[in-house]
């Protein structure tokens, strides 16, 4: 019985070794994460400005909504960056 | 002598014009290189699985490597529930990877440097993930816009921000791939132009830089395909598990 337990222990140890060795490898590649974050900030701003511009065109209130949504866009962009950096740090 | 570095991104028609219900569906260089890339992927797997052995041959090892790589990536980012989407993610990864890699050959065309192509791919993922989220969680999927532990008076603000952040996903996904490919290929062309312009005596300087740049571009081509697949998995994970 003790031999079996020993074997089990050995298997577990090598399994853990495999896990720590092979899992995150390319996930925390610094270049990959840099590419990932850089666009997040701009993309939300772009979407928000588009929404603001469209609402303005619809309601004929030229600069008001585009200004409001600009701030929303910045906030959403920062939120995105914080989220993706959190994810990268977790790996 | 100095060629326009943006000329390489021009889409033009190959062969006769085809019209289908008034829509132009003639073959372009863009679609030609998509077909070539798909053909290369099919060839890769056809050669690898031609005669399967327990002790695999060279191409079979490569096939299994790709399978393992993507399967592990899906497990890490989206968990076991995402297994049914394995074939989709694998196809997506291989398609983008081969488009990027084929684009690196001289005189070829980089399909992923067209924003409409990357945006179409990202939109397919965005709509697909949203549908999956609604199927798995029902109306409860809308809770993705309402993070827990937020005071009530802040909610309207946060919901707008969350919706914008959700809508920005396809934009950031497509712009990332497009911008990287466009910038890289433009740089290569510009430095190639320098080599010709500076001649034999000084030309080796930009030439050596181009060689380094090509190595970087190969890395970027792989990395962007990988990042695209990883982010699709992360979005899928959000739709499947919803732990905000």
Q: Is A66 contained in some domain?
A: yes
Give the span between the Cα atoms of B71 and B74, in whole angstroms.
5
Q: Rounded to a whole number, what is the distance in Å from the CA of B200 to chain A's nearest CA?
A: 34
pLDDT, tens digit, 9 for 90 and up, residues A1-14: 678 888 888 888 87
- Can you give the pLDDT of all 244 residues of chain B as single tens digits? 457 878 788 888 887 777 777 777 888 888 999 999 999 999 999 988 887 777 878 888 889 899 999 998 888 888 888 888 999 999 999 999 999 999 999 888 899 999 999 999 999 999 999 999 999 888 888 888 888 888 888 888 889 999 999 999 999 999 989 999 999 999 998 988 888 888 888 888 889 999 999 999 999 899 899 989 988 998 898 888 876 4
Which residue from B76, B160, B165 is facing A80, i.e. has the nearest CB?
B165
Q: Is A53 contained in some domain?
A: yes
Q: Is B190 contained in some domain?
A: yes
Q: Is B2 contained in some domain?
A: no
- The torsion angles phi and psi of B28, rounded to 5 degrees, stand at -115, 170
Q: Is A2 contained in some domain?
A: no
Domain count, chain A: 1
Q: Is B234 contained in some domain?
A: yes
Residues 187-226 of B with CB under 8 A from A: 219, 223-224, 226
Each as own residue / partner, the long-range contacts of residues B166-171 (CB below 8 Å, 24 or more positions apart, any chain) are: B167/A47, B167/A51, B168/A40, B168/A43, B168/A44, B168/A46, B168/A47, B168/A76, B168/A77, B168/A80, B169/A43, B169/B122, B169/B126, B169/B235, B170/B119, B170/B122, B170/B123, B170/B125, B170/B126, B171/A43, B171/A46, B171/A47, B171/B119, B171/B122
pLDDT, tens digit, 9 for 90 and up, residues A14-30: 777 665 544 444 455 66
Give the span between the Cα atoms of B135 and B196, in whole angstroms.
58
Q: Which domain holds residue A70?
A: 28-90
Which residue from A36, A51, A76 is facing B165, i.e. has the nearest CB?
A76
Q: Is A23 contained in some domain?
A: no
Q: Strands (DSSP E) along chain B, which ranges? A: 19-20, 23-24
Mean pLDDT of chain A: 79
Give the span between the Cα atoms of B175 and B117, in whole angstroms.
11
> Which pLDDT belongs to residue B238?
86
Which segments of chain A does DSSP mark as H helices, in order?
Answer: 2-22, 30-59, 64-90
Domain count, chain B: 1
Contact A31, A71 (CB under 8 A): no
Give the span between the Cα atoms of A85 and A32, in whole angstroms.
12
Q: Which domain holds residue B139?
A: 7-241
Q: Rounded to a whole number, what is the distance in Å from the CA of B40 to chain A's nearest CA?
A: 25
- The torsion angles phi and psi of A34, rounded to 5 degrees, stand at -65, -45
């Amino acid at each position: 019985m003790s031999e079996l337990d020993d074997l089990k222990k050995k298997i577990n140890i090598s399994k853990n070794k495999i896990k720590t060795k092979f899992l995150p490898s390319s996930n925390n590649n610094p270049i990959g994460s840099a590419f990932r974050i850089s666009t997040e900030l701009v993309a939300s701003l772009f979407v928000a400005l588009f929404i603001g511009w469209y609402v303005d065109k619809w309601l004929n209130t030229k600069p008001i909504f585009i200004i409001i949504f600009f701030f929303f866009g910045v906030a959403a962009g920062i939120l995105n960056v914080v989220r993706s950096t959190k994810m990268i740090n977790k790996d | 002598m100095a060629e326009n570095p943006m000329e390489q991104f021009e889409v033009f028609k190959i062969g006769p014009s085809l019209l289908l219900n008034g829509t132009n569906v003639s073959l372009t260089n863009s679609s030609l290189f998509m077909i070539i890339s798909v053909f290369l992927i099919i060839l890769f797997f056809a050669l690898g699985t031609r005669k399967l052995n327990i002790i695999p041959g060279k191409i079979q090892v490569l096939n299994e490597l790709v399978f393992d790589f993507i399967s592990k990536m899906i497990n890490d980012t989206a968990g076991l529930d995402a297994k049914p989407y394995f074939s989709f993610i694998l196809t997506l990864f291989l398609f983008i990877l081969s488009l990027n890699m084929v684009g690196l050959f001289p005189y070829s065309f980089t399909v992923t440097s067209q924003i409409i192509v990357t945006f179409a791919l990202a939109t397919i993922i965005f709509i697909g993930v949203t549908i999956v989220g609604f199927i798995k969680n029902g109306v409860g999927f809308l809770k993705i816009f309402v993070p827990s532990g937020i005071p009530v008076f802040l909610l309207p603000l946060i919901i707008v921000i969350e919706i914008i952040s959700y809508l920005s996903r396809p934009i950031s996904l497509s712009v990332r791939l497009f911008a990287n490919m466009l910038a890289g290929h433009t740089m290569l062309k510009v430095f190639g132009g320098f080599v010709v312009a500076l001649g034999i005596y000084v030309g080796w300087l930009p030439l050596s830089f181009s060689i380094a740049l090509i190595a970087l571009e190969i890395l970027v081509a792989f990395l962007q395909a990988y990042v695209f697949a990883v982010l699709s998995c992360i979005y899928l994970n959000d739709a499947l598990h919803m732990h905000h």
